[in-house]
């Protein structure tokens, strides 16, 4: 399968090149040349497929023959080593738990798949060492670090905003060692992302270093996120009732994968992009004007994004037809106060402990269900233990550490503090 750049200037590339480059040379995001829906028979027999078989059917058209079937199946089986249960919360409201992986956030799926694709392509071509450069607002860093740990021929450099990620998140990205390096930036997530972008544009640097990104713009992170929308559908007891997904959204990669799943034929009535106070997309859908803003810090920090990169892919899927987009995607924004109230309400009504991101998803779903009939699923994108500093005081509850977290929490943090782009460049050139 070939991929084109959404800026339409750079040449089309293979899956492999799209994965290795991340971003096209004209700074556009890559997008598949064609999208073929899966057969009716696949959907009517989906209960008979294992999660791995579903994933293979979903991803194979995008990979084409660039990874042999046997290898691709191996990559999938090493990606999907955990479950994606649906838990009922209240009438018409369930949650799809995406946090049973090694770093306890949905990003494990994309990061593990991507890391193994890199591993495969690198085995084929040993000549060049790759440096994966990634900015994180919290969960990406841990998932990428865990996914790439020990992958040969790949170094990973993670930039994170100092003091703006949770303790658990910080431990997950600063304690692994080996081929994983963490840079602690004096600034916000946007500052981290700006430094990463600058590095990719730095001709001097890229002539000396083989840089690539692992942010959600990479097709090997974006596309496998479709898997769990299908796995959720497989679990529905009543497949005739219309289903809607509410996706807590920041950079809009996760929801964009859901929209792709719908293009492959997954019968989804509506997507709800639920955001915190970083309300760029809800504003756009209301006013028709897209205004990026500096990100605002909230209690759902993995969604503190002021200019969501992947939204442009959703626009491309709906052929830049805003009316068609709005028929399929609704978007609502919620404040921290509303989010805390929702966490309390969910616990009181059902005993369920939602993390702040899941709670934003719950709020979006409830708002939609006020006016529409459907069975609603909100995505629980991270385990509450990743946001202890919010969850424990709000719910007056102690959260036990799952084994994945016990593994890192007492390890010693190792990071290098930086403030300016030149320090990043120096670091990359020296390493
Ligand atoms: C990354 C993240 C999100 C936002 O996902 P996007 O794909 O960037 O929209 C939501 N919740 C959690 C817990 C995350 O880590």
Highest mean pLDDT among 214-218, 332-336, 399-403, 406-410: 332-336
State which ligand 1 atom lies nearest to the alpha carbon of 137. Answer: 1
Instruction: Report angle CA 275, 276, 279 to the nearest 5 degrees.
Output: 65
| Residue 304 forms part of a structural domain | yes
| Residue 352 forms part of a structural domain | yes
User: Which residue's alpha carbon is at the smallest distance from atom 2 of ligand 1?
Assistant: 302
Q: What is the pLDDT of residue 215?
A: 75
Q: What is the pLDDT of residue 246?
A: 98
| Residue 131 forms part of a structural domain | no
- Please give the Cα distance from 69 to 55 (Å, whole number): 12
| Residue 36 forms part of a structural domain | no
Residue 44's CB: how many other CB atoms inside 10 A?
10
Q: What is the pLDDT of residue 125?
A: 66
Please indicate whether residue 252, judged by its CB atom, sits closer than 6 Å to ligand 1: yes
| Residue 145 forms part of a structural domain | no
Is 107 a known active-site residue?
yes
Please indicate whether residue 248, judged by its CB atom, sits closer than 6 Å to ligand 1: yes
| Residue 424 forms part of a structural domain | no
Helices 139-148, 107-124: axis angle to 10 degrees equals 40
Please indicate whether residue 147, judged by its CB atom, sits closer than 6 Å to ligand 1: no
| Residue 279 forms part of a structural domain | yes
pLDDT at 100 over 80: yes
| Residue 199 forms part of a structural domain | no
Q: How confident is the model at residue 403 (pLDDT cuts 50, 70, 90)?
A: very high
- Region 48-61: mean pLDDT is 98
Q: What is the pLDDT of residue 276?
A: 98
pLDDT in tens, 206-258: 999 988 888 778 999 999 999 999 999 999 999 999 999 999 999 999 999 99
CATH number at residue 288: 3.40.50.1100
By the 8 A CB rule, do 80 and 227 touch? Answer: yes
- Please give the Cα distance from 255 to 237 (Å, whole number): 23
Q: What is the pLDDT of residue 214?
A: 83
pLDDT at 190 over 90: no
pLDDT at 127 over 70: no
Distance 65 CA to ligand 1 centre (A): 31
Total count of domains within the chain: 1
Please give the residue that has the higher pLDDT: either 123 or 343.
343
Range of the domain at 347: 84-106+222-401
Please indicate whether residue 251, judged by its CB atom, sits closer than 6 Å to ligand 1: yes
Q: What is the pLDDT of residue 66?
A: 97
Distance 298 CA to ligand 1 centre (A): 13
Average pLDDT over the chain reads 95
């Amino acid at each position: 399968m070939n991929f084109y750049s959404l800026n339409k200037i750079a040449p089309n590339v293979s899956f492999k090149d799209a994965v290795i480059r991340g971003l096209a040379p004209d700074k556009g995001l890559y997008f598949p040349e064609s999208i073929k829906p899966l057969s009716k028979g696949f959907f009517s027999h989906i209960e008979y497929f294992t999660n791995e078989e579903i994933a293979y059917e979903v991803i194979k058209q995008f990979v084409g023959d660039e990874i042999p079937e046997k290898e691709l199946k191996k990559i999938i089986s090493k990606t999907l080593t955990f479950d994606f249960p649906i838990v009922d919360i209240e009438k018409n409201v369930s949650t799809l738990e995406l946090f049973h992986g090694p770093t306890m956030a949905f990003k494990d799926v994309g990061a593990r798949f991507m890391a193994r694709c890199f591993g495969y392509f690198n085995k084929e071509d040993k000549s060049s060492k790759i440096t994966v450069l990634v900015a994180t607002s919290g969960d990406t860093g841990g998932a990428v670090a865990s996914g790439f740990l020990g992958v040969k021929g790949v170094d990973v450099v993670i930039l994170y905003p100092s003091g703006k990620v949770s303790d658990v998140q910080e431990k997950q990205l600063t304690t692994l060692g080996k081929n994983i390096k963490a840079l602690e930036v004096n600034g916000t997530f946007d500052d981290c992302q700006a430094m990463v972008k600058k590095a990719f544009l730095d001709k001097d640097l890229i002539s000396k270093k083989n840089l690539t990104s692992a942010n959600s713009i990479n097709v090997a992170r974006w596309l496998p996120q479709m898997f769990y929308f299908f796995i959720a559908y497989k679990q529905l007891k009543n497949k005739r009732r219309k289903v809607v997904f509410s996706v807590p959204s920041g950079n809009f990669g996760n929801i964009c994968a859901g929209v792709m799943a719908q293009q492959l034929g997954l019968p989804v009535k509506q997507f709800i992009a639920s955001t915190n106070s970083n309300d760029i997309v809800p504003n756009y859908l209301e006013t028709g004007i897209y205004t990026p803003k500096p990100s605002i810090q909230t209690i759902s920090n993995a969604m503190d994004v002021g200019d969501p990169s992947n939204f442009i892919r959703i626009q491309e899927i709906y052929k830049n037809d805003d009316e068609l987009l709005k028929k399929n995607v609704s978007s609502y924004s919620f404040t921290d106060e509303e989010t805390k109230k929702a966490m309390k309400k969910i616990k009181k009504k059902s005993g369920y402990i939602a993390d702040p991101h899941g709670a934003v998803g719950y709020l979006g779903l409830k708002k939609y269900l006020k006016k529409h009939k459907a069975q609603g699923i909100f995505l629980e994108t991270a385990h509450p233990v990743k946001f202890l500093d919010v969850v424990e005081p709000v719910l007056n509850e102690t959260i036990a550490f799952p084994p994945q977290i016990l593994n890192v929490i007492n390890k010693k943090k190792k990071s290098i503090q930086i403030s300016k782009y030149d320090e990043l460049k120096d670091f990359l050139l020296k390493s």
